[in-house]
């Protein structure tokens, strides 16, 4: 798995759905419907900058929802970015269906631009191998996304700004834990790491 400094992705494709303005601080998280554990100090970049094959990657991680808890309204994730970046974040949240072989489909089921979202400093720092910058908790409120209970989906979060990275989770699940690919429209490859995010209803 290629870690920070070696990853980015390419051009946005897929189905665009409407999105509400980013949720203000204090918007209640009614019910946690999926949690990937806490964050650690390691991270992998996942953005839309484009570039040479094998250098710029995007990442995705699997999840499923229980009956009655299958509408996503708020998405939270942890990340960090290099010092000196002054441009605004430009996040795109995407959800992929399974391709029938235990990996994400090539093209997303949903593609949701959320812009900067809400960013809160956790007070922790990423490890030296992940840039050593502040670790942030990001959140975005979206128009409710209704999914099929018990079915495997994959969450991918990309940021159209160089130097941003998605934190890895502190606990790992079954192998492979997450997936990466070199470019938009290419197949996904499994990797031994979980990504840190939570889904709320």
Confidence of residue 163 (pLDDT cuts 50, 70, 90): confident
**What is the token pair recorded at 154?**
């994959």
pLDDT at 170: 82
Looking at residue 11, its pLDDT comes to 29
Average pLDDT over residues 144-150: 96
The reported pLDDT for the residue numbered 102 is: 94
The region of weakest confidence among 9-18, 97-106, 125-134, 182-191 is: 9-18
Asked if residue 25 belongs to a domain, the reply is: no
Q: Residue 52 and residue 8: Cα distance in Å, rounded?
A: 9
**Structural domain contains residue 60:** yes
| CA geometry: angle 28, 33, 149, nearest 5 deg | 135
Q: What is the mean pLDDT of residues 84-106?
A: 92
Residue 10 covered by a domain: no
User: Does residue 52 belong to any structural domain of this protein?
Assistant: yes
Give the pLDDT confidence of 33-55 residue by residue, as tens digits: 999 878 999 999 887 765 444 45
Q: What is the pLDDT of residue 7?
A: 33
Distance CA 58, CA 47 (A): 6
Q: What's the structural domain count of the chain?
A: 1
In terms of residue numbers, what domain contains 57? 32-200
Distance CA 54, CA 117 (A): 29
Q: How much is the pLDDT for 4?
A: 43
In a domain? residue 114: yes
Which range scores top for mean pLDDT: 13-22, 109-118, 168-177? 109-118
Q: Please, what is the average pLDDT of the chain? A: 82
Asked, for residue 6, whether it belongs to a domain, the answer is: no
Q: Does 21 fall in a domain? A: no
CATH number at residue 154: 2.60.120
- Answer whether residue 98 is part of any domain: yes
Question: Does position 5 have pLDDT exceeding 90, yes or no?
Answer: no
Beta carbons of 59 and 46 less than 8 angstroms apart: yes
């Amino acid at each position: 798995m290629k870690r920070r400094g070696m990853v980015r992705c390419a051009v946005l494709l897929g189905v665009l759905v409407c999105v509400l303005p980013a949720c203000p601080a204090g918007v209640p998280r009614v019910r946690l419907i999926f949690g990937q554990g806490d964050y650690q100090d390691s991270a992998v970049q996942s953005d839309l900058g484009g570039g040479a094959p094998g250098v710029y990657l995007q990442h995705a991680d699997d999840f499923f929802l229980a009956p009655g808890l299958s509408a996503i309204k708020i998405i939270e994730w942890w990340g960090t970015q290099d010092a000196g970046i002054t441009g605004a974040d430009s996040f795109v949240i995407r959800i992929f269906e399974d391709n029938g072989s235990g990996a994400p489909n090539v093209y997303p089921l949903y593609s949701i631009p959320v812009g900067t979202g809400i960013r809160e400093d956790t007070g922790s720092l990423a490890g030296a191998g992940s840039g050593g910058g502040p670790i942030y908790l990001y959140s975005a409120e979206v128009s409710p996304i209704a999914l099929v209970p018990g079915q495997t989906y994959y969450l991918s979060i990309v940021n159209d700004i160089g130097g941003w990275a998605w934190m890895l989770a502190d606990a790992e699940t079954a192998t492979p834990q997450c997936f990466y690919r070199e470019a938009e429209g290419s197949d996904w490859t499994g990797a031994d790491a979980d990504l840190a995010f939570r889904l709320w209803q």
